[in-house]
Structure formats: structure tokens, C-alpha cells
Homo-oligomer: A and B are copies of this chain.
């Protein structure tokens, strides 16, 4: 029983098929340049012996592996898990190898910080391309990566790293949807609770400001900054607002986690403030939470990422937008004049 896991090598397959090891190698790297006759012989032999290429050897020899590295910024954020799942399904279907890894760690206090080794070690593996899901601090890190490594950023920092292509929701439209919805419900005093990391957060801020202006609410523009992008931050900042001398009637949050934290604060305070999230994660759909939230078009984002990952000729520095939609739920209420 318990097979010794001594996997056959390319040379054994070659012997079995009666060809050279180089031929076997070719069959597994560029099969089209091998005659059909031999290809079949090799494939049969490989099948018989249960051969599968060795990752390590391949990466070492070619100085580039045959797998995709997926870096999830933060395991704590369900949005990322959802996007990751979508993409992984596609990759599995295509039979592509990939590694999924996470860059952020949360300390005892729940504060996220960057795990420096992770990025380093995944790059050591020489992936053929890198997919970053979400925003990681210190984008400069990405700049220092091998130049030929294609980088795709899903739902993360839009600018700042020229070599990467980015797929994300159209933040401006997203925030316009939010503001318009709130305005329609009679709100004027609408605060935006902004994200903590530059990129996306900045775009949402300007989307918010623009939408406010277009609704003639220029004088109500108020942006609150946050320490991190999680529920604790939302909770804290919301409390500050509640205790301020001018609490808003509605708040447009950077993401669902923020919103959930903010909602927790309003419940605790026994005060009613309309809250909108962003990401439409599974949490927002729960009856306990029932959060109006912007659906960023995750499906579309994931599909586009997978397309980019799967296509051969990768174009750097392109921006792809998914169209967000607003999912209204009970957390936003018509203002009682």
C-alpha cells in the first residue's frame, strides 16, 4: 500500500516510449512541434507510468514555471474569496496550475499588516504570471518584481504600477449609484467613509464628490478617513460621527465590512442612519444585516481576469472596468421629513 511516491521522470517515460528524453520534454511543453505518432507513443507511456511533470525542476530549468500565482490581499475580506473562487473555477476547468496565497496578516488587535515573506516566496517559485486580488500596502513591492512577469490586479490599486493590468469596478459609477439612491430617498447630509489605501479609495472619493456636486450637495461633502478597511474601522468612525455635533443621515461606506461595522455602531447607539456598503458580499445579503450595497460586478471582474490570465499575449498596463449595480436592501430608508 502507501505508494512510495517515487514519481517517474521524463527519462523513464522516454525509455518506455523508446524515444529521447528531449522528445518527452517537448511533448509536454510544445506538443504541436512533435509528430503525432511519437506524441501518442509518449503520451501513452506517460499515462502508463503515471508521469506528471515536476514543478520544481521545470521552474528551475526554464527559470519560469507553468503556473499562476494568486495573491489574495486579505483573507479576512469575503469579497476577495468570492473573486478568487470564480477565477479558480475557470483555471481548474482549463487544467491550469496555480498557487493561491495571502499577503496580509492580522495581529491580535485585528490590525492588518503586510506579510513580507509571502510575496517574496511566491515570486521565488517563478510563476508565469501574478494575479493580485485586492489592494496590498506598498505597491512599490510589485514594481520590484521581475520585469517579464505579467501582473494583473483584480479589484485593487488602479494606478501606481505601470506594468500591471487592472480589472476593477467603475468606482465613479458605483458611487454615483449610491449617492443618487440616497438623494432620491431624501438624504442630503451624506458622508463618505473612505478606504484606507490609496488607489481604489481615492477613486471612490472622487466619485462621491462628483455625484454630490451633481446633486447640488456640494456643501454637504464630507469624507471621513479610516485606519483600515475592516469592520472595526467602520465601527470606530461611525461612533465618532454619531457623537459629533452633526451626525449624517446617511453614510456611503468604502466596503461592506466598513458598512457592517458602521451598522453595528448605529444599532448600539439606537440611532437610525442609512448605510450603504460596497462589494455586495454574502454578508450584506444576510437578514441580520440587509445592507444596501454596490455590486461591483464580481462575476465580470473574475471572468475578465481569467481571460487575461489564460490568453497568451498579455498586454501590460490596461484598465478594464466592470459595471457596478446597486442592490437596495433595508439598510437605506426614505428620510422621514
Of A95-103, A178-186, A203-211, A318-326, the one contacting chain B is A95-103
Whether A56 contacts B59 by the Cβ 8 Å rule is yes
- In the complex, what residues of B have CB within 8 A of residue A32's CB? none
Whether A118 contacts B105 by the Cβ 8 Å rule is no
Whether B118 contacts A100 by the Cβ 8 Å rule is yes
Chain A 47-63: CB-based contact to B (< 8 A → 1; otherwise 0): 00000001111011000
Query: Are A60 and B56 CB-contacts (below 8 A) given A76-B81, A101-B99?
Result: yes
Shortest distance from the beta carbon of A280 to any chain B beta carbon, whole Å: 14
Please give the number of chain A residues whose Cβ is less than 8 angstroms from any Cβ of chain B in the complex: 61
> Which residues, 244 to 301 on A, are CB-close (under 8 Å) to B?
260-261, 263-265, 267-268, 282-283, 286-289
- The CA of A117 and the CA of B81, in the complex, are separated in Å by 18
- The CA of A105 and the CA of B84, in the complex, are separated in Å by 8
State the A residues within 8 Å of B (CB).
2-5, 54-57, 59-60, 67, 72, 75-76, 78, 80-82, 84-85, 88-89, 92, 97-102, 105-107, 110, 115-118, 121-122, 124-126, 143-147, 231, 260-261, 263-265, 267-268, 282-283, 286-289
20 interchain pairs (CB within 8 A)?
A2-B143, A3-B144, A5-B146, A56-B56, A56-B126, A57-B60, A75-B85, A76-B78, A88-B105, A88-B115, A92-B115, A97-B117, A97-B121, A100-B102, A110-B282, A125-B125, A260-B288, A264-B286, A265-B287, A288-B288
